[in-house]
Structure 1
Amino acid sequence: MSKLDFPWHEDAWNAFSAALEHDRLSHAYLIEGLQGLGKLHLAFRMAARVLGAPWPAEDPPIPLQHPDLTWVTLETDDEGKQKKQIAVHQVRETCAELAMTSHGGGWKVAVIWPAETLNPNAANALLKTLEEPTPRTLLLLVRSRMDTLPATIASRCQRIRISSPPRAEALQWLAPRGRDGNWEPLLDLAGGAPLMALLLADEGADELDMRCRKDLLGILGGRREPLEVAAEWARRPVPVTLRWLDVWTAALVRLKTLGEGPAGDAESARTLQKALERIPLQRLFRYRDEVRSAMVRSDGVFNPQMVMENLLLPWADQLASIRGDAAQGFLGDR
């Protein structure tokens, strides 16, 4: 089985191919879903299909190199650091390119990723092209976040939602790819996205899991200071750490609900059991809402250290109830 054989793409791919064959192709598609589902791969595969370019299964060219394809992504600054937004000049240049005659006498295609990073001026520039598209042009926008792209852009695209495959299917796809088939913990950490589970395995997520557990148990046992741990966590990839905290809290909810004792060595299990006896189930649910609110905002706009401090400080008092506005969730909806 090819590493790039993604069964969860097939419904979207078949619908797109049928639209192309019957001359019913939209002028713009918005491909959306969690990180780790291969959405960018699908966009370039679609571009290759429209442009008649070869698409080898084993080693496809990402980004696809073709004279009639424009690739729009985050630029780097003079110091080599990646910028946080797609700029207006990039979109204007792309729209001008789409308006020109095709080199091959056929379609012209632009792929924009990550579309959620379009700054307001860039989004406005793109809107003009979406409202008055040039014939035989195709825009493919790819995003992993649902809350930042203007509705005026999303509403003018045909949306392709890529969902995580069923758990059994995801585990079957991952099984021959190492770890003796033991992918369940990483698939949980990846939110059900198989490619993210692969990436986490490559980046040492097992070690991350061990370190995060040790840190939180240290806070619960009074052996670690929350602010010190927060400083360390803020230097790690924030989305992955928040996902770990979400999975950890969900596991505690299950233990609390089922009345089961935590696993692990005797000291760790005893520390966690004492904490679970003190923490109300409703408080765990509310805390998980706070973690998920932070996950939605983990795009570099906020201060990672402050977020980690706010999420870790409550553990020093076993998530004891707090008063005032913070009791509604410091990152929750106001």
Structure 2
Amino acid sequence: MSDPVGRYPWLEPARRRLAAYLAAGRLPQGLLISGAAGVGKGALADDFARRLLCASPSAEGACGTCPACRLAAAGNHPDYLRIEPEEAGKRITVDLVRRLIDRLSLKPQYGASRVVVIRPAHAMNTAAANSLLKTLEEPDPQTLFILVSERPTQLPATVLSRCQRLDVRLPAREEALRWLRGQGLGEEAEALLAMAGGAPVRAAELHGGDLAQRRRKLFDDWLAVLRDETDPLAVAEQWAKEDGETVTTWLRGWIADLIRIGSGETPAALRLANADLEQGLRKAAAGLDLRTLFARLDDVDAARRNLEGQANRQLIMEDILINWSRLRPRGARH
């Protein structure tokens, strides 16, 4: 039996809301499940799809043993349709959506219901989204569309307006750490959670790789740029070789922690997302004003948006690091 709620307990509130839709007979034709990358949205969508297709569902979800459940588990259920990019990091093209629409012109093959999961929905190009919109505007009562996205603002407003939105929130830090430690991560849990931006599923996926060392190297480079000890353009050239979303996630977390340190909270009350980097963060925070730090946070958010397009990655990193280097007078050190 697929049980993401059992594996990921923070999904329980979202599961209850989906169950309420069914109990009230108010299941939407389009459902958008949104939330941070690595929080478990895909598992939740899969669990709900299997629940809808199951021949003998219970209050807990799909039975896991009926023929429909076995087909879904094997990835062979004819009425469980998944639309994803043909290659990781690529777009969902209009041809993929058109082939889907052709299949939807036929009746469900196995039961009375059919589920389409589009993941990540924000990967649809403009033509694909427009093609899907036509289908959402003339819904088939036998078909539920589940769109999964960590970037719902990139979806056209017209598509968003056709979907009931369900936000999956990140668990509290202590809950996430407790879960990670239960997965056997031990002392690495805090650093992994920080690297994953607070998303525990992503943190567990990072276990065992070299990302911790790469993160520490980027952090040291970042501090060296602030202290005028290295050339921001040279650092940007190296950063451009890293995954842009990962780098900006780390940067956002580091700057947010600087803001927490600068807010005047007592050490006992201070809860840093990057607790393993606290010593370096405290040194960096000395003399930085909050207004400037919020401006640098805006820089990172703008960079994240630009990296999703065709902008030059190295130029984006150069802009971030040059602005960062200007926070202190040239030659300032500590």
| 1:43 aligned residue | 45
Find the aligned partners of 1:29 and 1:202 in 2 and give their Cα distance.
35
Q: Is 1:196 equivalent to 2:227 in the alignment?
A: no
Work out which of the residue numbers 297, 304, 318 in structure 2 matches 1:288: 297
Letter in 1 for 2:97: V
The one-letter code of the counterpart of 2:39 is L
Cross-structure match for 1:34: 36
What's the secondary structure of 1:110's corresponding residue?
strand
Structure 2: how far apart are the matches of 1:302 and 1:232?
17
Partner of 1:240: 246
Q: Is the 8 A contact 2:79 2:109 kept in 1?
A: yes
SS of the equivalent of 1:147 reads helix
Alignment check: 8 A CA contact 1:187 1:193 kept? yes
Q: Deviations over 1:26-69 (max 9, x none)?
A: 21111111101111111111111111176769xx9788431112
The alpha-carbon deviation at position 4 of structure 1 amounts to 6.6
Question: Retained in 2: the 8 A contact 1:55–1:61?
Answer: no
Aligned residues: 310
Contact between 1:41 and 1:62, CA under 8 Å: does it hold in 2?
Answer: no
Distance 1:278 1:20, change over 3 A: closer
Cross-structure match for 2:84: 73
What one-letter code is carried by the residue in structure 2 that aligns with 1:316? S
Measured on the aligned residues, the alpha-carbon RMSD in Å equals 3.3
1:102 aligns with 2:108: yes
Q: TM-score, normalised by structure 1?
A: 0.81
Partners of 1:55 and 1:233 lie apart in 2 by 47
1:217-236 correspondence runs (5 A): 217-236=223-242
1:13 corresponds in structure 2 to: 15
Instruction: Output the CA distance in 2 between the equivalents of 1:144 and 1:86.
Output: 15
Look up the match of 2:271. none
Do 1:20 and 1:50's aligned partners in 2 also have CA atoms closer than 8 Å?
A: no
Partner of 2:272: none
Q: Which runs of 4+ in 1 moved over 4 A?
A: 1-4, 53-57, 60-63, 275-278
Equivalence for 1:325? none
Counterpart amino acid of 2:323?
A: P
**Take 2:107 and 2:147, find their aligned partners in 1: how far apart are those partners?**
22
CA offset at residue 259 of structure 1? 9.4
Q: Which runs of 5+ in 1 are unaligned?
A: 77-81, 322-334
Report the TM-score when normalising by structure 2: 0.81
Q: Distance in 2 between matches of 1:68 and 1:152?
A: 26
SS at match of 2:178: helix
Q: The residue matched to 2:204 in structure 1 has which SS?
A: helix
CA distance in 2, matches of 1:259, 1:88: 51
The answer to whether residue 311 in structure 2 is matched with residue 305 in structure 1 is no
> Shift of residue 140 of structure 1?
0.8
CA separation in 2, counterparts of 1:36 and 1:209? 18
Determine the structure 1 residue equivalent to 2:143: 137
> Alpha-carbon deviation of 1:276?
4.7
CA distance in 2, matches of 1:7, 1:259: 31
Identity %: 36
Rate the CA distance shift 1:132–1:214 in 2: closer, same or farther, 3 A. Answer: same
